[in-house]
Amino acid sequence: MHTCTGRISMHEPNLQNVPRTFSIPLHYLSLNQVTSEDLMEFNCRNIFKAAPGHVMVSADYCQLEMRVLTHFSEDPVLMRIMKSDVDVFKSIASSWSNLPEEEVDDDLRQKAKQLCYGILYGMGNKTLAQYLDVSEMEAAAFMDSFYNTYPAVRRFTQSVIDDCRSKGYVETLTKRRRYLPHINSNVLYKKGAAERQAVNTTIQGSAADIAKAAMCAIDTKTSGSAPQPRLILQMHDELIYEVLESNKNSFIAVLKQVMEETVKLRVPLPVKVKTGPTWGDLEEVRII
């Protein structure tokens, strides 16, 4: 299955939606001396275990969609941030709010992150206000101040919409097209939805292109391995493999290199690697 943007989706069952944790009221388990408010928490992902002698290896692109946005917009401030070894959203919050990074608290960082994804997903002021838990007027002010800090982003998103109005479609990084016939509609809500879809498809669709290219390149690179590492799940920007434990380190080196270098953007595409015996027990691997 795939979405309109090109992302892979799943159903029956949708493993992409397996939660990290699940809570059960203890009184359901017929335990003594517990109240209805007492909960036992389970890590649902521990159910998924690697085969004997194997481990799971997860590789996740860091802020992939933000890096695609930076690549397309070429905003100089975002380019500098993405090329630095920093907390991306903390740095964005710092430049947006004109504060030193050490003064950026978790709340401000989270607002900057939500603003970024609001732009990526084409959120209007009303939806953004709900995410930020502020009024629509405040959300509009936040959005305007963000665009004023990163003017190249505004120019890019507007150019995507204008181009779509002219051609009737948008293209991803690999030139996949999505036609949006309502982009020139006289019905405002249809036109607005098409404008949001134009920006979202360009960014999210390009991120999907990168993930798919990496999957194919990894399969080709490891085709001579015995046994070949097995892709067991694709979680948007994350790939999860099952690999023979004795081959783990060599595979991690190949996996990271291929994912970071298969597609070249104007900014780096760093990958975070984790490994463990189950999906729920993955721990980050420090690669020097």
Catalytic residues: 60
Q: Six-digit token pair at 202?
A: 């360009």
Secondary structure of the chain in HEC code, one letter for each residue: CECCCCCECCCCCCHHHCCCEEEEEHHHHCCCCCCCCCEEEEEHHHHCECCCCEEEEEEEECCHHHHHHHHHHCCHHHHHHHCCCCCHHHHHHHHHHCCCHHHCCHHHHHHHHHHHHHHHCCCCHHHHHHHHCCCHHHHHHHHHHHHHHCHHHHHHHHHHHHHHHHHCEEECCCCCEEECHHHHCCCHHHHHHHHHHHHHHHHHHHHHHHHHHHHHHHHHHCCCCCCCCEEEEEECCEEEEEEEHHHHHHHHHHHHHHHHHCCCCCCCCCEEEEEECEHHHCEECCCC
